[in-house]
A and B are shown apart, each in its own frame.
Chain A
Amino acid sequence: MTFAQVLATEFLKLRRSKVTWLTLAALSIGPLAIALMMWIVREPGRAAQLGLLGTKANLSGLTATWPAYFSMLTMMVGIGGMLLLSFIVAYIFGREYTEGTAKNLLALPVGRHWFVLAKLVVAAVWWVVLVVAALAESFALGATLGLPDFSATLAVRAVHDALLAAAIAYLLVPVVAWIAMLGRGYLPPLGFALAMLALGNVFIHTGWATWFPWSIVPLFIGSIGEPSTTIATSSLVVVALTFLAGIAATIAQLRWADNAQ
């Protein structure tokens, strides 16, 4: 009952929020950009006429096919999603400090941990809606372009990969939530997310890639090298532990730290 009420209030807080539409718009641009690249590769002459293809542009490594399209889509959901999801979580948690409302939540007949859990559920629902919308948009755009080499097996695999990348990205965000609480606002978690993304791409070149949480998505989607077909068990354990540690740290921060806002 308590959790249901807290969850209801967390969803209510999103009413008329421009950020929800902003994130939808941001993720929608991804498939559009990928589709545009596919079209340019297929129609370089017309693209050049329209000024979309510069004389020095190099898209030679790209083919206008469903496999290439899906590969880029997974990359967008994985890497772009890690950033966008961090932005969402920074907003959900950080706004309480930026808008000065955190103090209104802390002396209520509600355990503080419920707020953390409800906010993470809201982030999860928000993220699922965005990813599903982006996938639907991608299929529609790919079909409109009439890309070759489509198969049901390929589509299922692409959806599976995108959802798995999205799920791993989600499991990393409780740490971002903790940073939002620690830093009391939007900027520290966004800075942290960018730094982790950069570090993840550094670690991917080392033998530690499977152990560093923010390298696991880039490794899986093949942002450098070939994409992995599976995720190592050790990586799954690392991600799961990161998820649990992030939740524990966020709850502890809200429960025990001074809130002298």
Chain B
Amino acid sequence: MALSADTAIATRALTKRYRDVLAVDALDLDVRRGEIYGFLGRNGAGKTTTIRMLLGLIRPTGGDVEVLGRRVLPGTSDVFAHVGYLVETATAYPNLTVGENLDIQRRLTRAPRAAVAEAIELMRLGELAERRAGTLSLGNKQRLSVARALLHRPDVLVLDEPANALDPAGIVEVRELLRTLVSEHGVTVFISSHILTEIAHLVDRIGIMHEGRLIEELDRDQLRAKERLYVEVGVSEPRRAATILAAAGFAHIEHADDKLRVYDAKGRVPELARALVGAGLDITELTQAHEDLEAHFLRLTGGAQ
């Protein structure tokens, strides 16, 4: 595949089939150098399978993967001198200390000796450096895995759910760290997460996977444009209220718990209020808001389950 020098990760018609299950279906993806690309999708959407193919951990049924201009296949090794990664659960050798686990990564990536201390400091693991990995909490194991991914100062970071098991402070820390890596070192970050609002705060672009297909890609501006304005109405008898509003000419009404969301009420809030009060209903709340990424995501992928 012919790619621009600007592209860090690219896939063309990337497909993975497990017998009758099409896990990834002809995925075309381009991640530019120096951007943070958020990869969203529900469980089973094909995110982790895609990430595994990006890293050569599993063989595609069809299509190609290129990372930093080099084709990736199972057994590819050279390009991974420039790639750090974390796939799904954080793992480490339980009998070894945090420092020893990182020393294994240092040796295998041919990083300098000082890299271990730097990674420990970066992920604030100093107090745990001599602790056996088997005794770490899940959150600290996750920090160790992120430290392992960063240790050799990669140009591309592939992170599958890096916020898993981290406490809120840890999530903010990782977010800031990723921003710094991108802004100061030009690192490309490919990140999947189920914490959609977290992704929205962090990424330059998002791709939404659903049933193995990339169904939408948005940059920040497009994401903002997608945020739909709506009026949330708390009202007695919501079902009757919806009927009354429909009769009054409001076409896009959704039920959200015991409230109504009216999507075509921009500039018509007084009219909406008059219609409900005139019908003898009590309005308990009237709020104007934007639909967030989560709502957009759920709409695209078939609603909440």
A residues apposed to B, CB below 8 Å: 5-6, 8-9, 12-13, 15-18, 99-101, 103-112, 255-260
User: Which B residues are CB-close (under 8 A) to A99?
Assistant: 91-94
State in angstroms the CA–CA spacing of A100 and B95 once bound together: 14
Q: Determine if B58 and A260 form an interchain contact, defined as CB atoms under 8 angstroms apart.
A: yes
Q: How far apart are B109's CB and chain A's nearest CB, in angstroms?
A: 6
B274-301 contacts to A (CB < 8 Å): none
> Is B81's CB within 8 Å of the partner chain A?
yes
For the complex, is B255 an interface residue (Cβ under 8 Å from A)? no
Per-position binary interface string of chain B over residues 25-60, scored 1 when its CB falls under 8 Å from any chain A CB and 0 otherwise: 000000000000000000000000100100111110
Digitize B79-106: 1 where CB-to-A-CB distance is under 8 Å, 0 elsewhere.
Answer: 1110101011101111110001001110
Partner of A12, one of B56, B77, B96: B96
Q: In the complex, given contacts A99-B91, A108-B80, A110-B108, what are 4 additional A-B residue pairs having Cβ atoms less than 8 angstroms apart? A: A101-B93, A109-B108, A111-B75, A255-B74
Chain A residues contacting B56 (CB-CB under 8 Å) are 106-107
A-chain residues with CB within 8 Å of residue B75 when the two chains form the complex: 111-112, 255-256
Whole-angstrom distance between the Cβ of A96 and the nearest chain B Cβ? 9
Q: Knowing A99-B91, A109-B80 touch, does A259 contact B57 (C-beta < 8 A)?
A: yes
Is B175 in contact with chain A by the CB < 8 A criterion? no
17 A-B residue pairs with Cβ-Cβ distance under 8 Å, sorted by A, are A5-B107, A12-B104, A15-B95, A18-B95, A99-B92, A100-B91, A107-B57, A107-B80, A109-B79, A109-B81, A109-B110, A110-B77, A112-B75, A256-B59, A256-B74, A258-B52, A260-B57
Interface size on B, residues (CB 8 A): 35
Q: Least Cβ distance of A78 to chain B in Å?
A: 31
Residues of chain B having any CB pair with chain A under 8 Å: 49, 52, 55-59, 74-75, 77-81, 83, 85, 87-89, 91-96, 100, 103-105, 107-110, 132, 148
State whether B148 touches A106 (Cβ < 8 A): no
Are A107 and B55 neighbours in the complex by a CB distance under 8 Å? Answer: yes
Q: Are A16 and B132 in contact (CB under 8 A)?
A: yes
Task: Check if A259 sits within 8 Å of B58, measured CB to CB.
Answer: yes
Verify A13–B77 contact, CB threshold 8 A: no
B101 shortest CB reach to chain A, Å? 9
Chain A residue contacts of B87, Cβ below 8 A: 103
CB distance from B54 to the nearest CB of A (A): 9
In the bound complex, what is the Cα–Cα distance between A6 and B49 (angstroms)? 28
Task: Look across to chain A and name the residue whose beta carbon is closest to the beta carbon of B104.
Answer: A9
Expressed in whole angstroms, the Cα–Cα distance for A106 and B83 within the complex equals 12
Q: Decide yes or no: A112 and B95 within 8 Å by CB, A16-B132, A103-B57, A106-B56 being known contacts.
A: no
- Chain B residues contacting A106 (CB-CB under 8 Å) are 55-57, 74
B91 in complex: contacting residue of A5, A104, A112, A255, CB < 8 Å: A104
Whether the Cβ atoms of A8 and B107 lie closer than 8 Å is yes
The interface residues of chain A lying within 8 Å CB-to-CB of B89 are: 100
The answer for the CA separation of A9 and B105 in the assembled complex, in Å, is 9
Residues from chain B with Cβ under 8 Å of A255 in the complex: 74-75
Contacts of A257 in B (CB 8 A): 74
CB distance from A130 to the nearest CB of B (A): 19
